[in-house]
Structure 1
Amino acid sequence: MKPKIYYLAIAFVITINLFSQNTYVFLGSYNRDKTAEAIQVYQLDTLSGKLTKFTSVKNIVNPSYLTVSPNGKYIYACTDTKTPNAGSISSFEFNPTAKTLTFLNSQRSGGENPVYVSVHKSGKWIANANYTEGSVSVFPILENGKIDSIAQNFQYMDGSVNKERQTRSHVHSSVFSPNCDYLFLPDLGADKIRCYAFNENQKKPLVETKNPFTKTDLEAGPRHFTFHPNQKWAYCIEEMAGQISVYSYDNGVLNKIQRIATHPDKIKDGFESSDIHISPDGKFLYATNRGKENNIAIFSIDENGLLKNIGYQSTLGKHPRVFAIDESGKFLVASNVQTGNVIVFKRNSKTGLLKKVGKEIKMQDVSCVQIKRI
């Protein structure tokens, strides 16, 4: 039997490790001007929800969407978005000790208007979605965090029934499955959720499957996509229809089990549903509505993965494009593009409801927020 002092020492080491970790909030923007701060980093006080400015970077245009590497060392951004005949993916090194965010390199995104980038759990691959030209690109990541040249690029031409918005493919996100053995691509223009198997050990990791896509309802406009922590269910928010489709998930295959509105019954049209995330405990799902509503729809998740609406929370701004939930599940941070403000909400873990805390952060045309504990 080990002495009591042994267990006290272990507890002390664990406590020191916990307190040595810090939680950072990364904000992207449509800055449209290299002299303006394009990416800002804040430290999140995980007791009060207060945001404190930590560092920033300039000299990059429109880093509209960000993702953080699994080890927290690198930030990957969709850059030159909404820029005619342009589009790139850029890499930055984040050094908390030196309080720096340093540009490493950029690669052409393989299509105009990149809108989403995700990183493989190995940290060795990233995949990005290009909206305007409807394509996906996959890049290897070098050991120093820089982005290597494109390994694969697939472009799609098929559209759907809406003659104004669906004349061709518009891939709106690129989401790895929980085990990172599949890549899913919600395609707003084609009313499809495309899918590839992903073999991280091959030079060209995207592999066609027997089920290359799942059809959504017509004029759904699938946008963002997320998996439940138990890996059994997947959820897709549909921008044009203002709906969430719920799927059972097994080995790359989706089967729809529910479709539910993200908005109150009184809202009949003009939907601009945007982002979707699940609390770390798997009990609640959150989805943003832009346009007429500018709110977060809150849903409980039952034992079968089905959703029940339990309320709405104003984002206290206009056009909440992207939001994020911290790893502890205590806080939700929302970014409002048109009003240029960032709001921190504290989550009630029992009810799922949200309450604003701290002071809002101002950042012109803020378009994305990611949170990482490092």
Structure 2
Amino acid sequence: MNLKKNILALSLLICTSVFSQNTYVFLGSYNRDKTAESIQVYQLDTLNGNLTKITSAKDIINPSYLTVSPNGKYVYACTDTKTPNSGSVSSFEFNSENKSLTFLNKQGSGGENPVYVSVHKSGKWLVNANYTEGSVSVHPLLENGKIDSIAQNFQYADGSVHKERQTRSHVHSAIFSPEFDYLFLPDLGADKIRCYAFDENKKQPLTETKNPFTKTDLEAGPRHFTFHPNQKYGYCIEEMAGSISVYQYEKGTLTKIQRINTHPDKIKEGFESSDIHISTDGKFLYASNRGKENNIVIFSIAENGLLKNIGYQSTFGNHPRIFAIDETGKFLIATNVNSGNVIVFKRNPKTGLLKKAGKEIKMENVSCVQIKQI
């Protein structure tokens, strides 16, 4: 009997070890220097949360936002961000066996200051959002992972009421719907969430819909967006207002059902809400606050999609721009741009609360994190 228990325990240990070896963390930055390691890749130990560096990439400027292809073979980055009269998207091949990251090619982003890239589940299309003049570009992806020239580009001129920050469109992200048949574009400058139908089989996959946008509250500044795993609800974080708007979702249509602050009610200014993600079990939503707070706010999610604030967790740094939750839902990793540190948190699946784990990583101007099990 004891022998059987020992064999079972050993099997579980081996399975856990193999699993931990297949989880990778990709970090981007505002490096502003081609000689710096602007993209770094780490291996996540899913037992204790420690990160071990395995490779990096140089010779590119400001890979501020990253995404990983569905098959885990390619990394795509917004590059030349915050660079006047410039903007590009770049592709890299990630080889998990020999632990290498190899530059493949670069294409113009179709606008200045690209801030977000998404890849269609088919692996055939890449979409990037350009912030400064407000536009979105669609690129075909080749079988070898390289980015092809732009197939579609839409630019917007309309703004909203804030005299300094909303003089024109500022598209801040590009998010596919749960079934990847629509594309949503939160536009901070116009106080709109734009929407297109997406047909992966067309040479120009974006087409206008009957409802081309959802209007947000004035001076909200919609930034990032995420969908609930049950595909019934969508959540938009509003940078300028420091709030989250909750929407019922059906076939490209958003209907608002709640709006809730990401910060304590007593704080009226000095915040910049940033990123937003939902735990894999659909029970908790997390959002980051920069500025005065520098924390992750935690919400429970009711069956009807509504949010309830259950607490805050410091990110132990300054300006948490982007964070990510691993595919098991066990860890949350936050990047602090101004303090240049990366913090791993272990997530309590029952309470949703976070606890610091492992050792923090230092990376100058670190701006983005993605986690991929390969």
After superposition, the C-alpha distances for 1:237-264 in whole angstroms (9 at most, x for unaligned) are 0000000000000000000000000001
Letter in 2 for 1:73: K
Look up the match of 1:145: 145
Q: Which residue of 2 aligns with 1:176?
A: 176
Give matches, 1:182-201, under 5 Å: 182-201=182-201
Partner of 1:100: 100
Which residue in 2 is equivalent to 1:283?
283
Alignment length (residue pairs): 364
> Does structure 1 residue 370 correspond to structure 2 residue 354?
no
Query: 1:49-88 alignment to 2 at 5 Å?
Result: 49-88=49-88
Distance 1:20 1:224 in 2: 29
Q: CA deviation at 1:284?
A: 0.1
CA distance in structure 2 between the partners assigned to 1:93 and 1:312 by the alignment? 37
Shift of 1:15: 5.2
Aligned to 2:113: 113
**Superimposed CA distance per residue, residues 263-284 of structure 1 (whole angstroms, 9 cap, x where no aligned partner):** 0112111220000000000000
Give the match for residue 156 of structure 1.
156
Change in Cα spacing, 1:297 to 1:19, as seen in structure 2 (3 Å) is closer
State the distance in 2 between where 1:49 and 1:257 align.
37
Listed as ranges, the gaps of 5+ residues in structure 1 are 1-7
Residue type of the alignment partner of 1:271: F
CA distance in 1, matches of 2:28, 2:369: 6
Q: 1:270 to 1:17 in 2, by over 3 A?
A: closer
User: In 1, distance between residues paired with 2:284 and 2:296?
Assistant: 12
Is residue 239–residue 274 contact of structure 2 (8 Å, CA) maintained in 1? yes
Shift of 1:97: 1.1
Aligned residue in 2 for 1:217: 217
Distance 2:186 2:295 in 1: 22
Amino acid of the structure 2 residue aligned with 1:84: P
Cα shift at 1:20: 8.4
Q: Identify the residue that residue 274 of structure 2 maps to in structure 1.
A: 274
SS in 2 for 1:265: coil
Whole-angstrom CA distance in 2 between matches of 1:16 and 1:134: 45
1:129 maps to a residue whose letter is A
- Determine the structure 2 residue equivalent to 1:4: none
Distance 1:351 1:158 in 2: 42
1:200 is paired with a residue of what secondary structure?
Answer: coil
Following the alignment from structure 2 to structure 1, what is the Cα–Cα distance between the partners of residues 20 and 303?
36
Measure the CA separation in 2 of the matches of 1:37 and 1:118. 23
TM-score calculated relative to the size of structure 1: 0.95
Secondary structure of 1:93's match?
strand
Aligned to 2:307: 307
Q: Which amino acid aligns with 1:234?
A: G
Asked whether the equivalents of residues 20 and 46 of structure 2 are also in contact (C-alpha less than 8 Å), the reply is no
Give ranges in structure 2 of 5+ residues lacking alignment: 1-7
SS at match of 1:209: strand
Runs ≥4 in structure 1, deviation > 2 angstroms?
14-21
State yes or no: 1:165 paired with 2:165.
Answer: yes
SS at 2:209's partner residue?
coil
